[in-house]
Copies of this chain bind each other. A is one copy, B any other.
Amino acid sequence: MSDHPRPELSPADHAELALLLEVAATPKPGNVDRRRDHDDLRFEHFLTGAVGSRPGLERAAGNGPLGDAFERGVRGMSQQSGGNTQFGCLLLLVPLVRAAATDRLSPDGVAAVVSETTVDDAAAFYRAFEHVDVAVGDPPADAPALDVRRGADAVPTLRERGLTLEDVMARGADHDGNAAEWTSGFERTFAAADGVLDDEGPVTDRLARAFLELLAERPDTLVAVEHGEERAREVSRRAAEVRGNPDAAETLAEEFVDDGINPGTTADLTAATAFIVLERGVSL
């Protein structure tokens, strides 16, 4: 785990590659992968989104505000007609890249990165929603002014309340899987990365297995937003049933795509997992 077979590749390179490996990994039931497209959201949109994200990922590896890095990544990602390809992936990757670039890619290190976020970072996060349509749940009844769908219109409220990006994520942690990672030192992501490093075979196959483990472990919050919590729990039960059975996983992948079941938050976690294993020197 301490060897580095790719000395030429930087954290920004690894983050971009993580986006590519995530979409290539198959089967990831319900998601676009190497074998499956959605009707209007295809594999090539993800390739384009990954390349377009790059300036944001490079900023994440630099010294500037983390929120700007995220917003720049999302803006570049959106230079294709498929829509939202990697918004959630970027939200997870940006603090991980910052942690890696500052030699603290560990749960404590990324928690420190999160704790350093500011109100300006929160404002940039809200602005990022103006670049692309993102499926999100209803805003909390006590704070309709902080609905992310309001984009930059929510910024005065953020400033008034002095909410940092960490604060915004903490507000979402109970119903959004990505926000939960932000506020837990990326607990599930680091655990999944350990699993991938202990696994064997082509890294895309390992990532597909990691996706199923993550989905089986906890209901996907995007599925919950789009289809309700009961359906999200059912999707996780189905994922648990097909672990270790590649043929059954392929069948489930067809079924979920046909039914419009898209465990996209779990795919986001898989991309973040890919980044960590690349930084840890997984062979490719």
Contact = CB atoms under 8 A, between A and B. Distances in A.
A52 interface: yes
A80 interface: yes
Nearest to A82: B284
A283 B34 contact: no
A17 B50 CA distance: 9
Contact of A79 (B8, B21, B47, B75): B8
State the oligomeric state as a number of copies: 2
A264 interface: no
Interface centre among A45, A54, A76, A81 (most CB of B within 10 A): A54
Given A34-B34, A47-B17, A47-B20, A80 B204 contact: no
Tell me the interface secondary structure of chain A in the complex. helix
B13 A51 contact: yes
A44 B16 contact: no
Given A16-B51, A21-B47, A284-B80, A8 B203 contact: no
For the complex of A and B, list the 3 residue pairs with the smallest distance between their C-beta atoms, beginning with the closest. A6-B79, A20-B47, A17-B51
